[in-house]
Structure 1
Amino acid sequence: MASITLVVRPRGRPIKNLPESITVNPDESVTQVFTKIADASKFSIHRLRVTKGSDGTPLSNNRDITVQQTGLRNKSAIDVKDLGPQISWRTVFIVEYLGPLLIHPLVYYGRSLIYRSSAPPSYLQTLTMLLCVIHFAKREFETIFIHRFSAATMPARNIFKNSAHYWFLSGLNLAYWSYAPSSPAARSSPNLLIAYLGVAIFAIGELGNFYTHVVLKNLRRPGSQDRGIPQGFGFRLVTCPNYMFEIISWIGVALVNFSLSTVLFIAISGLQMVAWAKKKERRYRKEFPETYKKKRFVILPGII
């Protein structure tokens, strides 16, 4: 099929060296549109948003969709917007989890300086620190080796907003109150039955969460944006069992340290995860109207 010419128009802030038009093969993937604009403008592909000039429909940088399938024809206009400096989602996740992963040991081992106390940490405080380190070390492992991201990048400025939740709420907030000499976990005669029940619940949550992430990983081919319907343990009960198991893990921590800071973290994180889970349920129903088995509960069976 003969090549076609697309008219390129800037949208928003000026883009230096943006070509006035590009020539593409309609039988090739949409990726060539992004590549040609990126090569000419010297911008990363991920920094560009390309939309159809006719109706503003965004074009996806997808190797499985051809230019012809998008409806673009010879002399069609496309609008190009500079999204600003970008950062990879993988890097964002690594930075997010690195905060609490470092903060908990620092506060735990720096107790004498932070609290001006010579009292050694209690057994429950030590156990809390180990559980938190295990949790966030697991999250880092999953980020590097398990997760596949549907979007490659996000605006670089958003990393501060995204990291604040973890660095402050599950990092400084949880660590400061958990390892303080006045913390409920500092008592010298702990109820070990409840503590070990908390550890068992934590382990169930962590293993279930890891399993769920592996299932979600296998839905998407490397480098693709494919979406599928997840099946298996947990997915029969709720839309997002990964969030369910995440909450279970932190309930286990709460049973170990008896800190209101942990309860606060569970409550705020839970509300955010409920919003994400409801959004995902709507997406599944829209993308797979005939094959997706609708869920009544998105995150906690029998509750929400």
Structure 2
Amino acid sequence: MVFLTEYTSPLLIYLLFYLRLSSVYDAKECTTRVRHPIVHLACICHCLHYLRHLLETLFVHKISEGQTPLKNLIKGCAFYWGFTSWIAYYINHPQYTPPSFGNRQVTLAAFTFLICEAGSHFISVALVHQNQSGNKSSFPSPSINPFTWLFALVSCPNYTYEIGSWISFTLMTQTLPVGVFALLIAIQMALWARKKHQLYLKKGTSSQWRKAAMIPFVL
């Protein structure tokens, strides 16, 4: 319920701003200004991101039976809901302007976004299979799937792909709110990645010291 609550609301909140409700934006300005195609693309990508999270929560991830403190749920919801409102308000605003380098920037960023979303999904599936095998003392290994080859360089490629998605979304929309959100997500995931990396190292072999936690050869 924690993950479903955190991920469902951003999906719905963004769509409400996408509809440009008269209570949020000036009705006359909305009718006179034509939306740039990037606004529609951003909505699709944002919805795709959270739909993936929701579907993986329901059908891929193995959620523990432990309970989450209410304060953690409130903080998580406030973070996701608040930033989604800020992000959606700016991108769907009638005065929103497209990125500086036009279609070239949007196309490259959108393509990278889709690659990272696919990578996040396949890494999630690989981690579930790793846990089901019962071998939790070693790093998950790359498989025939190219998206899993990042396991050869980092311990937590799921975080690498997740951050890549938000950086791509930042470049695609060129908005400050998305950039701030991407930065905060990167900081939090870097902390999680380093913690998991140290755990792997305690249980693994000496050759695994060559790996990074989240960013190849850097972090």
Higher mean Cα deviation, 211-220 or 226-235? 226-235
- Structure 1 stretches of at least 4 aligned residues deviating more than 6 Å after TM superposition: none
Q: Distance in 2 between matches of 1:172 and 1:292?
A: 45
For residues 248-300 of structure 1, the C-alpha deviation after alignment (integer angstroms, 9 at most, x for no partner) is 112221222111111111101000000000000111122x1437712442111
Counterpart of 1:248 in 2: which secondary structure? helix
Question: Which of structures 1 and 2 has the bigger CA Rg?
Answer: 1
Change (3 A) 1:251 1:289: closer
Residue 196 (structure 2) aligns with: 280
Given that 1:202 and 1:253 are in contact with CA atoms closer than 8 Å, whether structure 2 keeps it comes out as: yes
Q: State the SS of the aligned residue for 1:294.
A: helix
CA RMSD, Structure 1 to Structure 2 (Å): 2.3
TM superposition shift of 1:234: 1.0
Q: Which runs of 5+ in 2 are unaligned?
A: 143-148
Partner residue, 1:147: 61
**C-alpha spacing 1:134/1:268, structure 2 compared with 1 (3 Å):** same
Matched, 1:193 2:119: no
- Counterpart residue type for residue 239 of structure 1: S
CA distance in 1, matches of 2:210, 2:182: 23
Per the normalisation by structure 2, the TM-score is: 0.86
Q: Counterpart in 2 of 1:270?
A: 186
Give the partner amino acid of 2:178.
T
Deviation sequence 1:21-54 (CA, Å, 0-9, x none): xxxxxxxxxxxxxxxxxxxxxxxxxxxxxxxxxx
Structure 1 residue aligned with 2:7, among 97, 118, 121? 97
Q: 1:231 to 1:298 in 2, by over 3 A?
A: same
Aligned equivalent of 2:17: 107
Instruction: Tell me the residue number matched to 1:301.
Output: 216
Does residue 227 of the first structure (1) align with residue 142 of the second (2)? no
Which structure's relative contact order is higher, taking Cα pairs within 8 Å and 6+ residues apart? 2
Structure 2 CA distance for aligned equivalents of residues 245 and 151 of structure 1: 27
Equivalence for 2:146: none
- Cα 1:210–1:151, aligned 2, differ >3 Å: closer, same or farther? same
Identical columns (%): 29
Higher strand share: 1
Matched, 1:214 2:125: yes
The structure carrying a bigger helix percent of its residues is 2
Deviations 1:155-205 (A, max 9, x none): 234211122221112x112111111123233x8x97112111111101110
Q: Tell me, which stretches of 5 or more residues in structure 1 are unaligned?
A: 1-90
TM-score (normalizing by structure 1): 0.63
Q: How many residues align?
A: 208
| Partner SS for 1:235 | helix
